[in-house]
């Protein structure tokens, strides 16, 4: 099993562990939802974010907009640019998390994105503010295990889970390195390429999840290709959770393209999330 190094204990008694324990007790997989902070603007985004737990999201990934999101497909790239053009910053993203935490003490909140904004913020200051805002975990897609001293180890010492990505090309030789210092859960990228561009196949995912679980006791969540209630249902039956991101973000863009009033966008997005939640619960 994966073990921590550098005197960095796993923060294994927090909201993420509690939520996966609850899901296991209920005998079902979970729904992890991704939204891009500040898209299409701060207030609308915050209303969506606050509504996610009530719509059935079990865990929430909050995207930190960045100018060069190399792992993300067109939908999330465009969402990030809309947010940045609207003045979204990392400080504002943390403020959004804080606002959600004030109304919901239990839902796990995970920041997902790239290292550059955190580096510019300052690692120590960022972790202090993230912890104060109620952040439970980080997914930083451009920091490999070889760079653990940069952010991973400080995050673990601060009591913030560091969630790592595994991919179809992560073989059994590489997997223990990827899992070392990973906590909270493992995020399995079910397809090769960028987010939102392909459809995931449940049979292939089942084999990959079984292989990962031979190396770790951590839950495995699967994303990068889950787009519909049907696919969320299929993935949640072979993994501990299904992650939906691009399909949610696309609901924002389609509403903007149709000229929908911004005040009506949250209801549209949350209706879709509710259909995803019904899928994983059916």
The set of catalytic residues is 61, 72
The enclosing H or E element of 39 equals none
Nearest to 74 by CA among 64, 82, 86: 82
CA distance 191 to 170: 12
Across 4-32, b (16+ Cβ under 10 Å) vs e yields beeebebbeebbbbebbeebeeeebbbbb
Residues constituting the chain: 282
CA distance 262 to 170: 41
Could you give the count of Cα atoms lying within 13 Å of 239 in the half-sphere of its Cβ?
A: 35
CA distance 220 to 212: 8
DSSP 193: S
Helix axes 265-281, 42-55, angle to 10 degrees: 30
Count of CB atoms within 10 A of residue 194's CB? 19
Contact 171, 211 (CB under 8 A): no
CA distance 217 to 213: 6
Torsion (CA) 126, 128, 130, 136 in degrees, nearest 10: 130
């Amino acid at each position: 099993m994966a073990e921590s190094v550098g005197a960095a204990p796993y923060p294994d008694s927090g909201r993420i562990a509690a939520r996966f324990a609850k899901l296991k007790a209920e005998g079902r997989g979970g729904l992890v939802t991704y939204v891009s902070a500040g898209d299409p603007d701060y207030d609308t985004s915050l209303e969506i974010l606050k509504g996610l737990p009530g719509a059935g999201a079990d865990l929430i990934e909050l995207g930190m907009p960045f100018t060069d999101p190399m792992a993300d497909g067109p939908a999330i790239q465009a969402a990030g640019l809309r947010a940045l053009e609207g003045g979204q910053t990392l400080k504002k993203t943390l403020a959004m998390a804080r606002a959600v935490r004030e109304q919901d003490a239990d839902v796990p909140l995970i920041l997902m994105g790239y290292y550059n904004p955190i580096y510019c913020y300052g690692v120590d200051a960022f972790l202090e503010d993230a912890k104060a805002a109620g952040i439970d975990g980080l997914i930083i897609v451009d920091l490999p295990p070889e760079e653990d001293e940069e952010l991973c180890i400080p995050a673990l010492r601060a009591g913030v889970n560091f969630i790592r990505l595994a991919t179809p090309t992560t073989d059994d030789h590489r997997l223990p390195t990827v899992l070392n210092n990973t906590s909270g859960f493992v995020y399995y990228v079910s397809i090769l390429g960028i987010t939102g561009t392909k459809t995931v196949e449940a049979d292939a995912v089942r084999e990959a999840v079984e292989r990962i679980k031979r190396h770790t006791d951590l839950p495995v969540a699967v994303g990068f290709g889950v787009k519909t209630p049907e696919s969320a249902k299929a993935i949640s039956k072979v993994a501990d959770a299904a992650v939906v991101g691009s399909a949610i973000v696309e609901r924002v863009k389609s509403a903007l393209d149709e000229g929908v009033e911004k005040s009506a966008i949250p209801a549209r997005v949350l209706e879709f999330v509710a259909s995803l939640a019904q899928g994983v619960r059916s």
